[in-house]
Amino acid sequence: MRILFIGDIVGRSGRAIVTQRLPDLIRDWKLDFVVINGENAAGGFGITELIYHDLLAAGADAVTLGNHSWDQREALVFIDRAEKLVRPLNYPPGTPGRGVALIEARNGARVLVTNLMGRIFMDPLDDPFTAVEREIAACPLRLGADAVVVDIHAETTSEKQTMGHFLDGKASVVVGTHTHAPTADHRILPGGTAFISDVGMTGDYDSVIGMSKDEPLNRFLRRIPSGRFEPASGPATLCGLAVETDDASGLARRLAPVRIGGTLEPAGPAFWAA
């Protein structure tokens, strides 16, 4: 199976490159399943129902969230009817929406998608390790699902790497999100799980983690807020991770970082080239 995970979309610039490029990537790379982190898609903070449907129309099979899940208040309402929108699994019981979804891929395979939020330097949610262990035990790789994709939305590299090792051999892909800067540690772990500490953002990199530079510069230099953070609006780089899994085991066979457009050095899965 061919899986593409696209990192945190930031604002209009990030949305634009996804809608422009994703349909061609699905066709050219013969993608079976696409997951997008959309928690910064609406002006850099949260997601709206219209944006969610625009991402599905562009080719997303699942959209994950994170610490900005509820920044757009309408998300609290529409998430219950958005079957492919996955918020962090370790929110307390009774939180709207779902933290896991079993979704059919283009090739008919069953893909379990879950979203976790880290707890170091973030909101003190329920234990993500216990939460994901419970869900994967209920729908294990090869028995309940043909592939398992985990988005660990966390601040620290250590927490994300620990989650990767914890799920090694139990998940097809464990992708770190949230810090908006792509790391170079993409690899297949010893048990067969594809991993990267942070896939990076899909947005304008002539910025400070996707936001226009003036306000962050002002706050760091003068320690006084002068306005709102606004998403940078220049050409975006689409950042992601391309993974090919083995149909028999559900584990990763090959992987490659993806960087398309904008200012970062281009990268992609040469092994899928036509």
Identify residue 195 by its one-letter amino acid code: F
Q: Which residues of 75-102 are buried (b: 16+ CB within 10 A; e: fewer)?
A: beebbeebebbbbbbbbeeebebbbbbe
- 68 counts as catalytic: yes
Q: Please state which architecture CATH assigns to domain 2-272.
A: 4-Layer Sandwich (3.60)
| pLDDT tens-digit map of 198-241 | 999 999 999 999 888 988 888 999 888 888 888 998 999 999 99
Do the beta carbons of residue 42 and residue 212 sit within 8 Å? no
At 194, is the pLDDT very low, low, confident or very high (cuts 50, 70, 90)? Answer: very high
| Cα Dmax for the chain | 57
What is the rounded average pLDDT of the residues 53-73?
95
| pLDDT tens-digit map of 246-260 | 999 999 999 999 999
What is the reported pLDDT for 274? 56
Q: Per the residue annotation, which of 53, 68, 178, 180 is the catalytic one?
A: 68
**What pTM was estimated for this model as a whole?**
0.95
